[in-house]
């Protein structure tokens, strides 16, 4: 088993496990780089979408939606 600083790497990162106190440990996922082709496609698709201010969207949607109950 790989060792790092006197503690096995498997025990400090990687697998979902229970620690010494019996608590569930879920390590964070490793971040992956987004390929440049995917970034270019994302930017191209985003540029095709129209810019709509949120106020304009709400003005369009409010007349067709039922009134929300006042709960606060």
Tell me the CA end-to-end span of the chain in Å, nearest whole number: 57
pLDDT in tens, 9-41: 444 556 889 989 989 998 887 778 889 999 999
d(CA 50, CA 7): 53
Model confidence at 68, in pLDDT bands (50, 70, 90)? low
Helix/strand/coil (H, E, C) string of the chain?
Answer: CCEECCEEHHHHCCCCEECCCCCEECCCCCCCCCCHHHHHHHHHHHHHCCCCCHHHHHHHHHHHCCCCCCCC
Model confidence pTM above 0.75: no
């Amino acid at each position: 088993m790989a060792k790092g600083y006197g503690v096995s790497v498997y025990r400090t990162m990687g697998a979902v496990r229970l620690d010494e106190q019996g608590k569930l440990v879920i390590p964070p996922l490793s971040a992956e780089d987004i390929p440049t082709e995917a970034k270019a496609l994302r930017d191209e698709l985003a540029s095709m979408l129209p810019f709509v201010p949120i106020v304009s969207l709400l003005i369009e949607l409010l007349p067709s939606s039922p009134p929300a109950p006042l709960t606060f």
